[in-house]
Chains A and B, each alone.
Chain A
Amino acid sequence: MPDDFLARLEQAEAFEDLQTLILELRDHYGVGHMVYHWVSANGEQYGCGTYPPDWVQTYIERDYLRIDPVVLGCYQRFHPVDWRKLDWSTKAAKALATDAARFQIGNQGYSIPIRGPNGQFALFTVCDHRDDLAWDEFTRENQRNLILIAHYFNNSALMIERGRTPTAAKPLSPRETDALTFLAMGYGRGQVADMLEISEHTLRAYIESARLKLGANNTTHAVARALAEGLIITGGATNGAVGNWPGRYEIQGKQGVA
Chain B
Amino acid sequence: MLRYIYGSDLARFPRLEESMFLDRADQFKHRLGWEVTLDTKGWERDEYDDLNPLYVIWENPDGTHGGSMRFLPTVGRTMVNDHFGNLTGGGPICDPGIWECTRFCLSPKSESKIAAALMLGGGELMRHFKLAQFAGVFDARMVRIYRMIGSSPVVLGESGTGRGKISLGLWSYSPQAHLRVAQSAGVSLALSEKWFQRSFGAVELLLSA
Contacts and interface: CB of A to CB of B under 8 A. Distances in A.
A18 interface: no
Chain B interface size range: 20 to 34
A228 B133 CA distance: 36
B39 to A, nearest CB: 15
Contacts of A151: 75, 96
Interface string A68-99: 00000000111110101110010000000000
Nearest to A135: B203
A47 to B, nearest CB: 18
Interface string A48-85: 00000000000000000000000000001111101011
Interface in B68-98: 72-73, 75-76, 96-97
A132 B130 contact: no
Contact of A117 (B54, B76, B99, B209): B76
**Which among A76, A79, A84 has the greatest number of chain B C-beta atoms within 10 A?**
A79
Interface string B32-65: 0000000000000000001010100000000000
Contacts of A115: 73, 75-76
**Which among B52, B72, B96, B99 has the greatest number of chain A C-beta atoms within 10 A?**
B96
A86 B205 CA distance: 11
Given A116-B75, A117-B76, A144-B97, 15 more contacts: A76-B6, A77-B6, A78-B72, A78-B73, A78-B76, A79-B125, A79-B200, A85-B201, A85-B202, A85-B206, A114-B75, A115-B73, A144-B130, A148-B96, A151-B75
30 contacts: A76-B6, A76-B8, A77-B6, A77-B54, A78-B54, A78-B72, A78-B73, A78-B76, A79-B200, A80-B129, A84-B206, A85-B200, A85-B203, A85-B206, A86-B201, A89-B209, A114-B75, A115-B73, A115-B75, A116-B75, A117-B76, A132-B203, A132-B207, A143-B129, A143-B130, A144-B97, A144-B132, A147-B97, A150-B96, A151-B96
